[in-house]
Chains A and B, each alone.
Chain A
Amino acid sequence: MEYQTVIGLEIHAELNTASKMFCGCAATFGGNPNTKTCPICLGHPGVLPVANRAAIANTILLGLALNCEVTPRSIFHRKNYFYPDMPKDFQISQYDIPLTAGGWLEVEMDGYRRRVGITRVHLEEDTGKSIHIGESGRIHGAEHSLEDFNRAGIPLAEIVSEPDLRGPEEARVFLQLLRATLEYLGISDCKMEEGSLRCDANVSLGVGGELGTKVEIKNMNSFRALSRALAYEVERQRFALEQGQPIVQETRHWDDAAGMTSPLRSKEEAFDYRYFPEPDLVPIEPDADWVEVIRARMPELPVEKLHRFEKDFKLPPEIATMLTSEKAMADYFENAVQTGQDPVELAKWIAGDLAALLKDASIPIDACPLKPTGLGELVALLAQRVISGKMAKDVLREAFESGKTPRVIVADRGLSQIADSSEIESVVDEVVTENPEAAEDLRQGKEAALKFLMGQVMKKTRGKANPSMASDVLRKKLG
């Protein structure tokens, strides 16, 4: 049976405005419970919302970055439902007339490029947070909950993709690109681990052009969780269909520890949100001038930067993707390129060894102890054959850990490779003299002898001989 995987994503990004969407409380992360609240975001009787201009502008900017049309007249709607983290038991959101709609985001993977449709980007307010008190601290099995409204009212941009994603990997790449876009625009902290970027998915399996039943997947709290959850769900649905079992349209919760999705059972009311236009807010009609002012803020976006890196610096796609996935990393690279060293080399070091060091140490790249100029230095030393590739790795590590520049480290440790041809020649001569049988074997064409003799050369030079130069000399003498 040939099944077509169909995935749509619904992403919420907290906007990093200074104040909340409808009141002046600080929109920052953390703090003791209910220390960043006021009558408005607590839903006290008689309060009224007033819309945050910057949040609207940032949402429009995001829509423009995703190639959407700006809706000439959009309104807020009330989404009515009861939940203890809801200060008003309705959420001010947008329904059928969002701020922006009808765009796309081009993803690149495995040598192909695809446009994934963006249905809409709209603006709404975040809910408070429930802290579940019980054995596990999770909602199932809790004894009671404590409600904290610090987060209530923070502006949320909601991005809905068309059901255009054809697999878990494509979905992950799409989400990473979207995250990078948010980061480049500077409008969100977009950290999944802090909850400023959240993602739900709709997964269905179609057969022969017929759409399958959609299942909503929630609680994927990292990119890895997203991949695993989607892969699991696709497999779960495939297995069920192959057994002849129908897929139930439901919401399923991803359990990262158990590695599976399960139905979310609760006594919540039927999902009839009874949307109606928000009477306490007036329509938004962004005029052409305002939209242009917003558009002028658009920086070079990840996809543009990616293509430019591929074209101007001849970077391979995977490396270019990795570098542009984070603006700070892309900036680091471009600064390193200023040193005049080979961009491809620089890129490989950043995307490879340096990225690994940063990850292990949990340091963001803009706090990297090795500056771009330092990396340039390292690559220069390598290009000049002062050090070997293997040595360079060590030097990198030491530079990262000590903050000393590569040149200084090489000098301190006397690490310079012997790349002087006459010096290498004299060492090779010594080795050949001391090892006549091996030398004879090499003359006979036995590769193993080369290895042995190379080992001797490296031993004599305490590892400092430039390997390629040494083997050239050996071959010349005994080839």
Chain B
Amino acid sequence: MAISIDDVEHVAKLARLELSGEEKETYRRQLSDVLEHARVISEVDTEGVEPTSHTLPLVNVFREDEVRPSLPVEEVTRNATWAEGGAFKVPRII
């Protein structure tokens, strides 16, 4: 299953990964290899087979609507040196 550089660029954009030209080519090759290998599954007859999202038979797992203590704001921002006034500063969006 050959993937093109365009495919790699599209996926890298969706995944927000900046790639160099060389990286794009390397990943293109490697992803193609893996997908080619994985292609065997298309041969398998899965007519009438339901996909498995969970191997557990659990349903209806809920919690009660109770308020629990939140984090102190110093804990919230301790791992973000760029925090300002308790909020997370980010570069402009548009």
Q: Which residues of A contact B (CB under 8 A)?
A: 17-19, 23-26, 32-39, 42, 50-56, 73, 75, 82-84, 130-132, 134, 139-140, 142-149, 265-267, 269-270, 272, 274, 277, 279, 281-286
Contact = CB atoms under 8 A, between A and B. Distances in A.
B59 A285 contact: yes
Interface residues of B, number: 35
Interface in B44-94: 53-54, 56, 58-71, 73, 76-77, 84-94
Contact of B70 (A25, A83, A142, A147): A25
A53 B65 CA distance: 7
B93 to A, nearest CB: 6
B61 A146 contact: no
25 contacts: A17-B65, A18-B66, A25-B68, A32-B86, A34-B76, A34-B77, A34-B87, A42-B76, A51-B61, A52-B65, A53-B63, A53-B64, A54-B65, A84-B88, A132-B92, A134-B92, A144-B91, A145-B93, A146-B87, A146-B89, A147-B87, A266-B93, A269-B16, A282-B58, A283-B54
Given A84-B93, A146-B89, A277 B53 contact: yes
Interface of B: 10, 13-14, 16, 53-54, 56, 58-71, 73, 76-77, 84-94
A36 B65 contact: no
A35 B90 CA distance: 19
A54 B64 CA distance: 7
Given A82-B16, A279-B53, A131 B70 contact: no
Interface residues of B: mostly helix, strand, loop or mixed? loop
Nearest to A273: B14
B17 to A, nearest CB: 11
B65 to A, nearest CB: 4
B71 A37 contact: yes
A285 B60 contact: yes
A284 B92 contact: no
A84 B66 CA distance: 28
B92 A145 contact: yes
Nearest to A265: B94
A148 B87 contact: yes
Contact of A37 (B54, B64, B76, B91): B76
A459 to B, nearest CB: 67
A26 B67 contact: yes
Contacts of A50: 61-63
A265 B61 CA distance: 41
A33 B84 CA distance: 10
A269 B9 CA distance: 12
Given A146-B89, A147-B90, A26 B58 contact: no
A144 B90 contact: yes
Contact of A25 (B64, B67, B73, B88): B67
Contacts of A84: 88, 90, 93
A18 B54 contact: no
B70 A36 contact: yes
B59 A19 contact: no
B70 A26 contact: yes
For the complex of A and B, the 8 pairs showing the least CB-CB separation, nearest first, are A24-B68, A54-B65, A53-B62, A146-B87, A33-B87, A147-B88, A277-B53, A282-B58
